[in-house]
Each structure stands twice: as structure tokens, then as C-alpha cells.
Structure 1
Amino acid sequence: MGNALFYHLTRSPAARLVPLLLGKSLQAGWRVELRGSDRDRMARLDDELWLAEGFLPHGLAGGPHDAAQPVLLTVAGEGRGGAAAAECLIALDGAAVAPEECTAAQRVCIVFDGNDPPALDRARDQWRALTGAGIASEYWSEAGGRWERKR
């Protein structure tokens, strides 16, 4: 059973944190689903990941090789399934995460912009839903200048 890690962005954009989370997940040998809520946003993130420093093998969902991608960028409803299921799910921009996905994955990361009140409210709702379903959850904040686990 996995856990949910909530990443509260206050100083940097998600595009700076996501490559770090992807790199750590790939080092652990996990397949990753990077889930957003908007197809255009995921297409821009796809471009950014190709242009970023270092190489993170990935693909945008909808191609012929989705099942073989180590990192698959999706929009809600396009997720991996069966033998190609992701061991790590990273959710951006309020993308929905079900408790069942947390129990099936090794790790779920929920990244949200703490400077955006609706995003903050959505993350709070997700926290209540997941912890209420018995999912072990952690809260991480960068407010102090570096990522720190808060209690």
C-alpha cells in the first residue's frame, strides 16, 4: 500500500519540482503517470520535459507506445491500466486521485500551487478525502526555502 505526498508550492512552479519527482521515481524503478487536468497544459509540460536539462524518458498519452513509456503524461481518464499500471502517480492542477489508486501505487504525489486559493482548497479537499479513506499522507512545504516535511 502506497502513501500520498502533498507538495505545497509557494516559491517555484510545478515545472521545477516535477523533473525532480520524476527522476527519483525512475531511480526507484517505477513507471510513472503524470496526470493533469488540461490537455494543453500537459502538451506544454511534454515540451518542457524534452527541453529540460537532463533526459527524462516520457511520452504524451494517446500514442502507439503508451504502455512502454516509463513516464506517461495523461489527463484524467487516460491513465495506465493492467500490466502497464504506474507505480507512481503524480497529480497536478487539481487532477483527481482516488483512494484506490493510492493503495495500488507505491507512491502518489499531489502537487499544488499554494498561491492559488482554488488550488489550495482543492488540495485540502483531496487531503480530507484520502486521509478519511485511511491513506497514509504526508505534507511537504517549500515555504522555508527548501522542501520540508511538516507535521
Structure 2
Amino acid sequence: MAEVLFYHLTESRLEEALPDLLERSLARGWRAIVQTVTTERRDALDQHLWVYREDSFLPHGTDADSSGALQPILLTTEPEQRANDPHVRFMVEGAVPASLDGCERGVYLFDGHDGEQVASARARWTAEKSAGHTVTYWQQTEDRRWVKKA
């Protein structure tokens, strides 16, 4: 069973929080999938990850490229996508995976100011817990640190 984490964004936007979490995953030697709901969001994140900070580099690609299996970080809209054999799967803005089988960790990032994303995260919490996964809930403090709440 995968460990499933829920990150409740209250102080930062996805574009600010996701790169740090991806850097931590790569530092562990993990390959990652980032699953979005739309191709527009996937492509916007693709562009953002190239320029989010001058002193950093996150090697990544999208499932629109033919090199998906080689990518340490693969951005996709496909719930079944596993081309890079990921250790961790990030689901953003309400994305739902077909399965977390084969992953060590699943991570849901959701905007606390978006009612639909909050409702989706609550539903996923129930589903993942019912599936037997270990679930934890993390919320941001005013200084943008993560605090484990459940």
C-alpha cells in the first residue's frame, strides 16, 4: 500500500509549492509523475518548471513527448500513465489516478480557496483510506511551512 499525503495549499499557489516537493522527491532518488486535469495545466506547469528559480533545475518532460520513460519527472493528464515507473505520483487540482499500485507515495495538492478542490480532496481522503492506504493531512502555516494535522 502507498503512503498518501494531502497537501492543503492555503498560503501559496501550486506553482510555488510543487517545485520544492519535486526537488525533495528527486533528492530521494525517486521518479515522479505529476497528473493534471487538463493539457493546458500540464503545459503551463511544464513551462513553469523550466524557469521557476534561476539556481535550480528540475529535469522533466510531458507525455506529449516520446521520451516519457526516460523522464525523472513526467507531467501527464492520463490517470493510467506510468511510463517512467514512478515512485511518487502527484495529483493536482482534482486529478484522480487510476491506481497508486506500484507507487511508494501518492500526493494530492489542493487549493484551500477552491471549494471544488477541497471537496475532491475530502472524497479522495475517504477513498484512499478505505483502500487501505496510510493517509496524512498537511496544511500550510502563515509562513508557508507544512504542519501535519492528521
TM range (shorter): over 0.9
With normalisation by structure 2, the TM-score equals: 0.92
Identity of paired residues, percent?
36
Please show how residues 115-134 of structure 1 align to structure 2 within 5 Å.
115-134=113-132
Q: Structure 2 CA distance, aligned partners of 1:71 and 1:78?
A: 15
Tell me how far 1:144 sits from its aligned partner. 4.3
With normalisation by structure 1, the TM-score equals: 0.92
Aligned partners of 2:37 and 2:94 also within 8 Å: yes
2:68 aligned residue: 66
Is 1:10 aligned with 2:10?
yes
Q: Structure 1 CA distance, aligned partners of 2:89 and 2:72?
A: 12
What RMSD in Å do the two structures reach over aligned CA positions? 1.4
Aligned partners of 2:79 and 2:96 also within 8 Å: no
Gap regions ≥5 residues in structure 2: none
Q: Structure 2 CA distance, aligned partners of 1:137 and 1:74?
A: 23
1:29 aligned residue: 29
Aligned partners of 1:76 and 1:95 also within 8 Å: no
Please show how residues 129-148 of structure 1 align to structure 2 within 5 Å.
129-145=127-143, 146-148=145-147
More helix by share: 1
The correspondence for 1:107, drawn from 93, 101, 105, is: 105
